[in-house]
Amino acid sequence: MSTRLSTGGRLIDRSRKIAFTFNGKRLTGHPGDTLASALLASGQTIMGRSFKYHRPRGVVASGAEEPNALVNLGQGKTHEPNQRATTTELFDGLTATSQNHWPSLEWDIGEVNALLPRFLPAGFYYKTFIHPRAFWKHVFEPFIRQSAGLGKAPDPKQTDPDRYEHFYAHTDVVIAGGGIAGLQAALEAGRAGARVILCEQTAHWGGRAPVDGVEIDGKPAEDWINDTVQALEGMENVHLRLRTMVAGVYDHGYILAYERVADHAPAADTPRHRLWRIRAARVIAATGALERPLSFPGNDKPGVMLASAMRDYITNWGISPGDRTVVVTNNDDAYRTALAIKAAGLDVPCIVDARPEADGPLVQEARARGIRVLTGMGIAGVKGLRGVVAVQLCRQAGEGAVVEDVVCDAVAMSGGWSPVVHLWSHCGGKLTWDKPGAFFRPDHARPPTDQNGEGFVVCAGAADGALHASECLSNASTMARNALTSFGKPAPEAEVAKAAAAHEAPLAPIWVMPQGAGPKKRSKMWLDFQNDVKVSDVQLAAREGYESVEHTKRYTTLGMATDQGKLSNINGLAVLADALGEEIPRVGTTTFRPPYTPISMGAIAGEARGEIFQPLRRTPLHDWHMDHGAYMEPVGHWRRAYCYPRKGESHRDAVNREINATRGGLGLLDASTLGKIIVKGPDAGRFMDMLYTNMMSTLKPGKCRYGLMCSENGFLMDDGVVARLDEDTFLCHTTTGGADRIHAHMEDWLQCEWWDWKVYTANVTEQWAQIGVVGPKSRAVLEKLGTDMDLSNEALPFMGWSAGKLGGFDTRIFRIAFAGELSFEVSVPASQGRALWDALHEAGKEFGVTAYGTEAMHVMRAEKGFIMIGDETDGTVIPQDLGLDWAISKKKEDYLGKRAQERSHMTDPARWKLVGLETLDGSVIPDGAYAVAEGVNANGQGMTQGRVTSTYYSPTLKRGIAMGLVQNGPDRMGEVIEFNTTKKPAKGEAPKTVKAKIVSPVFYDPEGEKQNV
């Protein structure tokens, strides 16, 4: 059982205690502890359950690569699943619960799966849950759902109370990793005068060197680390950042770094996480290396740990992993762990070294300390159910015949080290196989390249394969200097500190222990601890024909756990290569994708949540709408008033009331969102003729004309009223969502096609508040306000406009009528918009003034048969389909879309065309309903002959009205066709339809007598 040693622990403050709970149990730790170290100190060796077999699992690593010790962190609003105990800094009041077990961590029903592993081999789900089909819904799916997912999903009804943010930084160099290599690289870059951001994912500088007993310039590594950090802090061009992980490297020197600002001190009024979005010329990945497990039977039992992790727990946190620890290794480095255990006063019954010989200085030192060193040996099995009781030794070269049982309560394993090459690989850097070290390292000849075609990532130190301290610093210096020189910031000559550590003899690549293990033993050798992928699974995949490592990964789920293969990938692909009879480098690795470790959704979202999730565009009248109970609807990013329901009034009743009030007297509409674009210049007329299907160049100043805009594809993209302000200048109104798009469209053609035309445009949409003053009393209310303009029908006829004072406001008045009534659109500078709106309400009282919203506007325009972009159009509709031929100039040689509209498909007489639709029973046809036709298509589906594009209840006509596109529609006036409905038919009956008569789309005032008065 693990416990806290009485002394030691370089990172903890033993003078203080902090309290936390695990599965409701109250425990204590020290400041500086991680949750994992504090749990070990409390004797809690089982920290989780594996995914598939629910096997009890202890912590295996001490850092980001941990696959087992995943916990639910926090409660209620702050609850977050799958947090690694090894990277969770302990704080006072931390609450954690274990995951993936039922009913308890110690006793789990699902563990029965582990007794039946041969029924759950690789590809089990793919093979099993196929037939019979009928089983899917009631048998397979519930089974899979019940066993799917680690951790407990956060409660969707809870809102994360924390705050998150982004930060954009621009720098010359980003250095990932604050170990000795990263610090050395930062020194070089700092001295070169480059702007540097140095990120370290943990809370401490220096990485592994202090734990590994490295000496630098004859002193303990910690001294050099402290001196170097101090030197770097003194450099203005160097920015140091702890608790910040470089998560990903992307194209053109874009880097994401994940700063855990307040995870370790959640009470503070700080953002919890900050996502750094950095642009840098160069990235130096000093990301170190990760130790690999050894694949021996029972290597997943609680108490079996990476040798380096055990060293960390002893040295950094003063943890005793057990009283008697067996070390099993294929290299010299693991002997450091044996020596550390010994130095802590604990027992090492033996070191099991798979190599035939071991005689390096570390080995000799171990022997000198009286540790029994067994070479050419391996582990054939681990005894114990929920922990380690003993290991069974065997010959590595054999099949696993047990030669001796060694009683112990912990095992430290080391299968060698793999450089962390993720950041090198994210943007396409290639790897090369280092045979002596048995690892992949960056291939310097094939780096990821940036916008200049230059390599922009280097690995430094252990990440570059310089695993031993003696080569690490000089490698980091060289790699950093190369990177700096490559973008014109050479570093000045400077002495590189000399790092020294005991010499290490080469490792022996050991991928399976023992070498000749049979199927039974291979099915107990874990590769991927979290996903329960074993050596036997990968071998089975190979036998079943999975040759690609990418396919094997997905078939077996090797490396698909939350650690993303950090521990398992190299071991797994070595097993695969062996099974395929291939060289490891030929099998290759799976793709390294960002982020390096999971980052929070909160950090990704940053500030974009709640009120500022999206920009909401507000008109100058927005506050009035809110004060008057408007029900708002989104139109693009705009918020518009849909209707203004009174107390107890339904939306539909409100809409009907607004329409009746407008048609009967006076309605006001906030039309400020309409796009307004100025087009000016000697060639403006010519340009307008190209933009619109109509002839705009002939429009007289003082007049307005309704116009259509098409894309080069011929499809209708926008419509609106154009006013000619003067000989040179047009004002184009666009749809609400269309202003930015249409302005960009105009500039596109002016800048990229007709750049010799003298035309300037300006988007003045938001300069103006625009108010629709609509209804028989509209002229009266304007005249009541007082104006220097003549608003009579003679002076300002339909489709005319005028500028002048209205009630003291600076206005333009357009005589246009989207509702089909006498109406005026009054344009006023936005700063005066609210005041004019209020003045109109005041003056309009005697006329029964009523504000109406977008739905009333829609109904009224539909009653008039006016089309709406986005309702009648969907990107496949041309103006000719909508009976708008009158708005298409026959005289013009060219306009955007004209050639496209000549294509055979566009001129096909059988196209669906716009008509009005009147239900025979007066009901409202469902939105989006299709007109059914005779027969079925090749797939047995019913044929259609049209569809509804707009459908409303008309309070004016007191019946349902609709517009729709119907095949040959305009030639079929009076014909009755049927539309499908959403009404559920009785069993055995045909689907319900509704009958509608094809009529003119103009339902209201076809002669225009209402608007032209």
Partner 1 sequence: MSDLVKSALPGARAEGSVTVEEMGLQGMVTLRADLLASGAAIAGVTGAEMPGIRAISAGQGCHVAWMSPDELLILCDHGRAGAMVADLTAALSGQHHLAVNVSDARALFRVAGPAGPLRDTLAKITPADMSAEALAPGEIRRTRLQQVAAAIWFESATEARVICFRSVARYVFDLLAMSAKPGGAVGYH
Partner 2 sequence: MLTFTCPYCGVTACETELSPGGEAHLKRFGPGSSDEQFEEYLFLRPNVKGVHFERWRHAMGCGKWFLAARDTATLEVFGTYSAQTTEPPADIIAAIRAKRPDWSLT
DSSP H helices, 584-711, are 584-587, 601-605, 622-627, 651-664, 684-691
Instruction: Say how many residues touch partner 2, by CB under 8 A.
Output: 27
Binding positions for partner 1, 259-278, rule CB under 8 A:
268-271, 274, 277
State yes or no: residue 892 binds partner 1 (CB under 8 A): no
Please, how many CA atoms are within 13 Å of residue 689, restricted to the half-sphere of its CB?
15
State yes or no: residue 755 binds partner 1 (CB under 8 A): no
Secondary-structure breakdown of the chain: helix, strand, coil percentages, each rounded to the nearest 5 = 25, 30, 45
Q: Which of 219, 700, 805, 899 binds partner 2 (CB under 8 A)?
A: 899
Which residue in 164, 163, 165, 166 sits closest to 254, CA to CA?
A: 166
Window contacting partner 2 (CB under 8 A); options: 11-19, 386-394, 446-454, 568-576: 446-454
Question: What three-state secondary structure class fits 104?
Answer: coil
Task: Please state the closest distance from residue 271 (CB atom) to partner 2, in A.
Answer: 21
List Cβ neighbours of 202 (8 Å cut-off, separation of 6 or more): 63, 87, 178, 242, 243
State yes or no: residue 937 binds partner 2 (CB under 8 A): no
Task: Please state the closest distance from residue 235 (CB atom) to partner 1, in A.
Answer: 14
Tell how strand 526-528 and strand 431-434 pair up: unpaired
Binding positions for partner 1, 787-816, rule CB under 8 A:
808
State yes or no: residue 902 binds partner 2 (CB under 8 A): yes
| Chain centre distance of CA 82 | 18
Task: Please state the closest distance from residue 283 (CB atom) to partner 1, in A.
Answer: 18
Which residue in 164, 170, 228 sits closest to 200, CA to CA?
A: 228
State yes or no: residue 636 binds partner 1 (CB under 8 A): no
**CA triple 330-333-336, angle to 5 deg:** 125
Q: Which of 163, 430, 741, 911 binds partner 1 (CB under 8 A)?
A: 163
Q: From CA 879, how far away is CA 899, in angstroms rounded?
A: 13
- Whose Cβ is closer to partner 2: residue 276's or residue 814's? 276
State yes or no: residue 832 binds partner 1 (CB under 8 A): yes
Q: Which of 7, 230, 451, 939 binds partner 2 (CB under 8 A)?
A: 451
Q: Which of 149, 345, 634, 682 binds partner 1 (CB under 8 A)?
A: 682
Q: Which of 453, 545, 974, 988 binds partner 2 (CB under 8 A)?
A: 453
The first and second tokens of residue 764, run together, are 């003045």
Within 10 A of 10 (CB to CB), how many other CB atoms are there?
Answer: 13
Q: From CA 532, how far away is CA 525, in angstroms rounded?
A: 10
Q: From CA 525, how far away is CA 515, in angstroms rounded?
A: 12
Which residue in 26, 27, 29, 47 sits closest to 38, CA to CA?
A: 29
Distances in whole angstroms, Cα of residue 254 to Cα of each of 443, 766, 809: 21, 35, 51
- Whose Cβ is closer to partner 1: residue 152's or residue 784's? 784
Are 865 and 916 a contacting pair, CB within 8 Å?
A: yes
Angle between the N-to-C axes of helices 535-543 and 549-556, in degrees from 0 to 180, rounded to the nearest 10: 120
Window contacting partner 2 (CB under 8 A); options: 412-420, 525-533, 745-753, 992-1000: 745-753
Q: Which of 713, 832, 944, 981 binds partner 2 (CB under 8 A)?
A: 713
Binding positions for partner 1, 100-119, rule CB under 8 A:
none
List Cβ neighbours of 930 (8 Å cut-off, separation of 6 or more): 944, 946, 947, 948, 979, 980
Dihedral, 284, 287, 288, 291 alpha carbons, nearest 10: -150
Amino acid, res. 31: P
State yes or no: residue 686 binds partner 1 (CB under 8 A): no
State yes or no: residue 767 binds partner 1 (CB under 8 A): yes
Q: Is the peptide bond before 103 cis (omega within 30 degrees of 0)?
A: yes
Q: Which of 442, 465, 514, 620 binds partner 1 (CB under 8 A)?
A: 620
Binding positions for partner 2, 839-898, rule CB under 8 A:
893-894, 898
Window contacting partner 1 (CB under 8 A); options: 82-90, 606-614, 642-650, 873-881: 606-614
Q: Which of 146, 158, 548, 614 binds partner 1 (CB under 8 A)?
A: 614
Task: Please state the closest distance from residue 576 (CB atom) to partner 2, in A.
Answer: 29
Site string for partner 2, 198-237 (x = CB under 8 A): ----------------------------------------
Window contacting partner 1 (CB under 8 A); options: 120-128, 574-582, 607-615, 874-882: 607-615
Instruction: Say how many residues touch partner 1, by CB under 8 A.
Output: 50
Window contacting partner 1 (CB under 8 A); options: 78-86, 443-451, 508-516, 609-617: 609-617
State yes or no: residue 903 binds partner 2 (CB under 8 A): yes
Question: What three-state secondary structure class fits 971?
Answer: helix
Q: From CA 309, how far away is CA 311, in angstroms rounded?
A: 5
Binding positions for partner 2, 269-298, rule CB under 8 A:
279
Window contacting partner 2 (CB under 8 A); options: 68-76, 520-528, 605-613, 742-750: 742-750
Q: Which residues of 423-438 are buried (b: 16+ CB within 10 A; e: fewer)?
A: bbbbbebbbebeeebb
- Whose Cβ is closer to partner 2: residue 646's or residue 903's? 903
Task: Please state the closest distance from residue 249 (CB atom) to partner 2, in A.
Answer: 10
Q: From CA 542, how far away is CA 558, in angstroms rounded?
A: 13
State yes or no: residue 250 binds partner 1 (CB under 8 A): no
Within 10 A of 350 (CB to CB), how many other CB atoms are there?
Answer: 21
The first and second tokens of residue 501, run together, are 């550590």
- Whose Cβ is closer to partner 1: residue 107's or residue 613's? 613
Window contacting partner 1 (CB under 8 A); options: 388-396, 676-684, 685-693, 711-719: 676-684
Q: Which of 13, 251, 357, 971 binds partner 2 (CB under 8 A)?
A: 251
Question: What three-state secondary structure class fits 306?
Answer: strand
Q: From CA 502, how far away is CA 468, in angstroms rounded?
A: 9
Question: What three-state secondary structure class fits 457?
Answer: strand
State yes or no: residue 834 binds partner 1 (CB under 8 A): yes
- Whose Cβ is closer to partner 2: residue 712's or residue 874's? 712
- Whose Cβ is closer to partner 2: residue 162's or residue 683's? 683
DSSP 191: H
State yes or no: residue 254 binds partner 2 (CB under 8 A): yes
- Whose Cβ is closer to partner 2: residue 251's or residue 921's? 251
Q: What residue 894 binds from partner 1, partner 2, none (CB within 5 to 8 A, per partner kind)? A: partner 2
Q: Which residues bind partner 2 (CB under 8 A)?
A: 250-254, 279, 449-453, 712-713, 744, 747-748, 751-753, 755, 893-894, 898-900, 902-903
Q: Which residues bind partner 1 (CB under 8 A)?
A: 163, 165-170, 239, 268-271, 274, 277, 279, 606-608, 611-612, 614-620, 637-638, 678, 680-682, 729, 758, 760-762, 764-768, 808, 829-832, 834-835
